[in-house]
Amino acid sequence: MVDNILAISDLTLRYGDQTALNGISFEVPRFEIFSIIGPTQSGKSSLLRILNRTIDFNADARVSGSVLLDGEQVLTTPHVHDLRRKVGMVAPLPVGLPLSIYDNVAFAPRLAGVSKRADLDGLVESCLRQAALWDEVKDRLDQLGTRLSGGQQQRLTIARALSHTPDLLCLDEFSIAIDPVTTMRIEEVLRELKTKLTIILVTNLIQQARRLSDRTLFLWNGSIIEQGTTEAMFSDHPANSLTYDYIRGAFG
Ligand X SMILES: Nc1ncnc2c1ncn2[C@@H]1O[C@H](COP(=O)(O)OP(=O)(O)OP(=O)(O)O)[C@@H](O)[C@H]1O
Residues in contact with Mg ion by the rule CB under 5 A: 45
Nearer to ligand X, 101 or 226 (CB): 226
Q: Out of Mg ion, other proteins, ligand X, none, which partner does residue 238 contact, by CB within 5 to 8 A per kind?
A: none
Residue 81 backbone class (left: φ over 0; alpha: ψ -120 to 50; beta: rest):
alpha
Binding residues for ligand X, rule CB under 6 A, total: 11
Q: Which span sits near other proteins by CB under 8 A: 15-23, 93-101, 187-195, 201-209?
A: 93-101
Report in angstroms how near the CB of residue 60 gets to other proteins at its nearest.
10
- DSSP secondary structure code for residue 16 in this structure: T
- Is residue 7 a contact point for other proteins (CB under 8 A)? no
Contacting ligand X within 6-25 (CB under 6 A): 15, 20
Per DSSP, which regions of the chain are E strands?
4-15, 18-29, 33-37, 61-69, 72-73, 87-90, 168-172, 198-202, 215-220, 223-229
Tell me the residue length of the chain. 252
Q: Of the candidates 88, 65, 67, which has an alpha carbon nearest to the alpha carbon of residue 77?
A: 67
Binding residues for other proteins, rule CB under 8 A, total: 27
Nearer to other proteins, 6 or 156 (CB): 156
Q: Which span sits near other proteins by CB under 8 A: 82-90, 183-191, 206-214, 237-245?
A: 82-90
CB–CB of 252/243 below 8 Å?
no
Q: Of the candidates 58, 30, 33, 32, which has an alpha carbon nearest to the alpha carbon of residue 45?
A: 58
List 57, 71, 113, 139, residue binding other proteins (CB under 8 A): 57
Q: Rounded to whole angstroms, how far apart are CA atoms 79 and 41?
A: 30
List 8, 164, 173, 247, residue binding other proteins (CB under 8 A): 164
Q: Rounded to whole angstroms, how far apart are CA atoms 88 and 84?
A: 7
- DSSP secondary structure code for residue 59 in this structure: T
Nearer to Mg ion, 111 or 176 (CB): 176
Sheet architecture: strand order including 198-202: 87-90, 168-172, 198-202, 33-37, 215-220, 223-229
Contacting ligand X within 27-46 (CB under 6 A): 38, 40-46
Q: What is residue 33's three-state secondary structure?
A: strand
Report in angstroms how near the CB of residue 135 gets to ligand X at its nearest.
32
- Binding positions for other proteins, rule: CB under 8 A: 52, 54, 57, 59, 81-82, 84-85, 89, 91, 93, 95-99, 107-108, 111-112, 144, 146, 157, 160-161, 163-164
- Binding positions for ligand X, rule: CB under 6 A: 15, 20, 38, 40-46, 58
